[in-house]
């Protein structure tokens, strides 16, 4: 399950985002949003973990990890306002 979720995350294009729930659903586990978070904990350096956000476009990570996620997204051209990303503009799925 985790490898399939990581495989889906690797397919998210630069400058786009998906929610944890979307990743889970596309990996074949429609109720596995929390498991996506677990799958991303053991990531390799090439995994674009920062492209996965919470429901409604919210950056859920806190502290330094949240700041890093926002910086990575902005470096790819994703606009983050108040810890939120416009899913209609930057989302896929």
When pLDDT is cut at 50, 70 and 90, the band that residue 93 belongs to is low
How far apart are alpha carbons 36 and 17 in whole angstroms?
14
Rounded to two decimals, the pTM is: 0.93
Looking at the DSSP bridge assignments, the partners of residue 24 are none
pLDDT tens-place string over residues 2-47: 999 999 999 999 999 999 999 999 999 999 999 999 999 876 778 9
Given 3-state DSSP classes, what are the helix, strand and coil percentages for the chain, each rounded to the nearest 5? 50, 10, 35
pLDDT tens-place string over residues 55-87: 999 999 999 999 999 999 999 999 999 999 999
The CATH number of the structural domain formed by 2-90 is 1.10.10.10
pLDDT of residue 81: 96
Secondary structure element (H or E) that encloses residue 19, with its range: strand 18-19
- Give domain limits for the chain: 2-90
């Amino acid at each position: 399950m985790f490898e399939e979720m990581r495989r889906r995350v690797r397919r998210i294009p630069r400058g786009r985002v998906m929610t944890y729930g979307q990743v889970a659903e596309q990996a074949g586990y429609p109720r596995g949003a929390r498991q996506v978070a677990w799958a991303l904990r053991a990531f390799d350096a090439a995994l674009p973990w920062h492209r996965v956000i919470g429901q409604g476009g919210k950056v859920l990570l806190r502290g330094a990890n949240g700041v890093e996620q926002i910086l990575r997204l902005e470096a790819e051209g994703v606009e983050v306002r108040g810890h939120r990303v416009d899913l209609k503009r930057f989302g896929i799925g």
